[in-house]
Amino acid sequence: MKILLTGSNGLLGQKLVALLHQAPGVELVATARGLNRLADRYPALRFVPLDVTDAAQVQQVLAAERPTHLIHTAAMTQVDECELHKAACWLQNVTAVEHLATTCAQRAIHLTHLSTDFIFDGEEAMLGEDATPRPLSHYGESKLAAERIVQATSGLRWAIARTVLVYGTLTAGSRSNIVLWVRDSLRKGQAIKVVDDQWRTPTLAEDLAIGCWLLAKQSAEGIYHLSGRELLTPYEMAQQVARFFGLDHSLLERVDSSTFTQPARRPARTGFNISKAVRELGYQPRSFDEGIALLAQQMEKSE
């Protein structure tokens, strides 16, 4: 099988490259806007520049590469940025998906599309795939609109992978995550405010990459919830990080979300029931403690 990956410079994209660049029976083509950030790490990786908001470029690259499967991870994911720059958000999260879905349908390419728990309103937690979406933010609206385009594209074979609060370390580039932020702040003796009235099932980026690979490998069709299993607040996550590294818990200040002023509304509670992915795909995510241990190992190597 030949997989074309969008967003290969992003967190999930980098984990998929690490997972698939030498997988038996897989030919991988990585794409992203701009330069390939992974060129030093994976010199043999085939990389093609691709701006998914450009319909002609999408058609041209897919015609030239002829993949059997496409995993679409490229998106504008900063929730407040999406609220402040709505047109840019719509272009990247909706228009681009329209281009990809149409071209994939024309060329019989199986599409795995990434979506989010932010399509929900936060009234309920541990949601199944059949829960009713009611987004609170422009980001959530854009991701729901993209899902509907995927589902409505005639002749398209598709899987939608919804996920929750993805955390991990980048191979190339820098990006903060809750584990790194809590560890570094507490090591410096800094007190930090951490929200305790929002609930999520945090997802290790490596686990999400495996889930996307399982969807593509099995040419699965339909919506799948891929996240961790544990429903935690950011404050509870921070406590686990402090415990793991043996740091001072008293520096963690429990606050509610009204403490922070943010342009976009967040759902109070989401978290996913992942039993369908476990049953049908064999998806087995690690615990949050196991995720912290993996990140600790990765951060040690890079420091």
Q: Tens digits of per-residue pLDDT, 10-63? A: 999 999 999 999 999 999 999 999 899 999 999 999 999 999 999 999 999 999
What is residue 156's predicted lDDT score, i.e. its pLDDT? Answer: 98
Q: Is residue 252 part of a domain?
A: no
Residue 122 lies in a domain: yes
Q: What average pLDDT does the segment 94-117 reach? A: 98
Residue 260 has pLDDT above 90, yes or no: no
Closest CA to 172 of 295, 47, 43, 41: 41
Confidence band for 184, pLDDT divided at 50, 70 and 90: very high
Total tally of structural domains belonging to the chain: 1
Task: Give the CATH number, domain containing residue 216.
Answer: 3.40.50.720
Q: Has residue 175 got a pLDDT over 90?
A: no
> What pLDDT is stored for residue 261 in this prediction?
87
Determine whether 258 is exposed, middle or buried from the number of CB atoms within 10 Å of its CB (0-12, 13-18, 19+): exposed
Report the pLDDT averaged over residues 204-221: 98
Predicted confidence (pLDDT) per residue in 142-168, tens digit = 999 999 999 999 999 999 999 999 999
Average pLDDT of the chain to the nearest whole number: 96
Residue 93: domain span: 2-167+203-228+272-286
Report residue 300's pLDDT band, with 50, 70 and 90 as the boundaries.
confident
Task: Assess if residue 8 is contained within a domain.
Answer: yes
In a domain, 255, yes or no: no
Query: Residue 303 pLDDT more than 80?
Result: no
pLDDT at residue 134 is higher than 80: yes
User: In the prediction, which pLDDT does 301 show?
Assistant: 80
State pLDDT tens for residues 100-111: 999 999 999 999
Residue 302 lies in a domain: no
Amino acid occupying residue 142 = S
- State percent of the chain over pLDDT 90: 93
> In this model, does residue 302 exceed pLDDT 80?
no
* Residue 134 belongs to some domain of the structure: yes
Domain membership flag for residue 266: no
Q: By percentage, how much of the chain surpasses pLDDT 70? A: 99
One DSSP character per residue, 167-219 reads E---SSS----HHHHHHHHHHTT--EEEE-S-BB--EEHHHHHHHHHHHHHTT
Q: Is the pLDDT of residue 279 over 90?
A: yes
